[in-house]
Amino acid sequence: MSKITFLGAGSTVFAKNVLGDCMLTPALNGFEFALFDIDAERLRDSEMMLNNLKETAGSTCTIKAYHDRKEALRGAKYVINAIQVGGYDPCTITDFEIPKKYGLRQTIADTIGIGGIFRNLRTIPVMLDFAKDINEVCPDALFLNYTNPMAVLTNVMNTYGGINTVGLCHSVQACVPEMFKNLGIDSTGVQWKIAGINHMAWLLEVTKDGQDLYPEIKRLAREKQNEKHHDMVRFELMLKFGYYITESSEHNAEYHPYFIKKNYPELIERFNIPLDEYPRRCVDQIEGWKKMRDQLVNDKNLEHKRSHEYASYILEAIETDNPFKIGGNVMNTGLITNLPKEACVEVPCLVDASGVTPTYVGDLPPQCAALNRTNINTQLLTIEAAITGKRDHVYHAAMLDPHTAAELSMDDIVSMCDELIEAHGGWLPALK
């Protein structure tokens, strides 16, 4: 029996989407779905939910929950990762509240910036523990990473974990349909090409019947400049730098030095930037789970429709040798020629029986590559901090972050990092 192991299976809604998709994929009939989570109650919830879904879907898969991670991984052909280390309380709260004392505001804080750096520092050791187990009990497994910060964690698993890893993000497949919906354009029959880094990949080409649609997109975006909406940051970046970015405006507001500025508070209103957005979402999700848990977990008639998540389509393509194209996060083995070879990049990839094969992109437009490099700098220094355990590299990563550097002095950045390290306590490895 082939085996799919889901790490972080207590993410019940996400497990429903990803493993529910797998149940509806004939090529995966008969697979064991091995569930693991450190939260025994949430693990049990997901096991019950998936068994109900199995019955209504008529699936021949086997659902099995494990309390021993290594046994959950043993013999796995595929591993899907969706963990979050530290959760909302205490770690996410810490990531937002301490920087706020220094006048540094954030929106999501899960990619780069201060929040992204510290999320990485507490997650990388856990991921490398996964890698040790995988190398021992399922060394040939394909590791599908859904956990943020995507670029750094995927990089670490490939570079230091020795695990065949591809990072998967929702933003690539959602980019064009959502943007066209916001602009009131029909996206049927539209072709596009996207490449860059995770959460800052670029819509390099967008055409229909061979016609370049960018002139019309930019015309409509200019018309909406004086209208409040939820994509104002991305439209502004596109109009200034020439290309649309995959990830949302609330994310991109904190990836650049231009939008969240304490000396220019009017920018927050002008670009409709939702400060402290991620903590609000966390609170809403916690409350929402309390209301939906019984219905989701105990519904004997629970149903599912296949989603747009990449995982089941990747597994199907490998099992059937019917090719499928994804936007994947992989190491930059000469794929994007004006980004560092040490970086993890997001590029079109072909999936078939031979696995995930990234495609060559070449040079990005120079201004796009330059913006990517500002974020890659922080990513690579964060990895140095995690691997070497040197506190100085934490400071370096923070001082190179575009938003942080634009707002704080070097002395304040160091003080803030020290305070964050102290507050995280045992959630972080020892730093010297």
Residue 148, annotated as binding a ligand: yes
Residue 169, annotated as binding a ligand: yes
Residues of the chain with pLDDT under 70: none
What tokens were used for 98? 């301490």
pLDDT in tens, 128-175: 999 999 999 999 999 999 999 999 999 999 999 999 999 999 999 999
Domains of the chain plus CATH, in order, are 3-86+108-167 (3.40.50.720), 87-107+168-431 (3.90.1820.10)
By annotation, the residues acting in catalysis are: 170
pLDDT in tens, 77-96: 999 999 999 999 999 999 99
109: left (phi over 0), alpha (psi -120 to 50) or beta: left
| Backbone angles phi and psi of 271, in degrees to 5 | -100, 10
What's residue 1's pLDDT? Answer: 72
What's residue 33's pLDDT? Answer: 98
Burial (CB count <10 Å: 0-12, 13-18, 19+), residue 426: exposed
Cα 393 from Cα 177, distance rounded (Å):
39
What's residue 346's pLDDT? Answer: 98
Identity of the amino acid at 301: N
Task: Evaluate whether 66 touches 137 at the Cβ level (below 8 Å).
Answer: no
Give the number of other Cβ atoms within 10 Å of residue 349's Cβ: 21
What's residue 432's pLDDT? Answer: 95
Residue 199, annotated as binding a ligand: yes
Task: Evaluate whether 63 touches 35 at the Cβ level (below 8 Å).
Answer: yes
Q: What angle do CA 167, 35, 138 make, to 5 degrees?
A: 65
Task: Evaluate whether 27 touches 316 at the Cβ level (below 8 Å).
Answer: yes
What tokens were used for 332? 């930059």
What lies within 8 Å, CB to CB, of 12 at 6+ separation is 42, 45, 46, 49, 289, 293, 296, 297
β partners of residue 203? 194
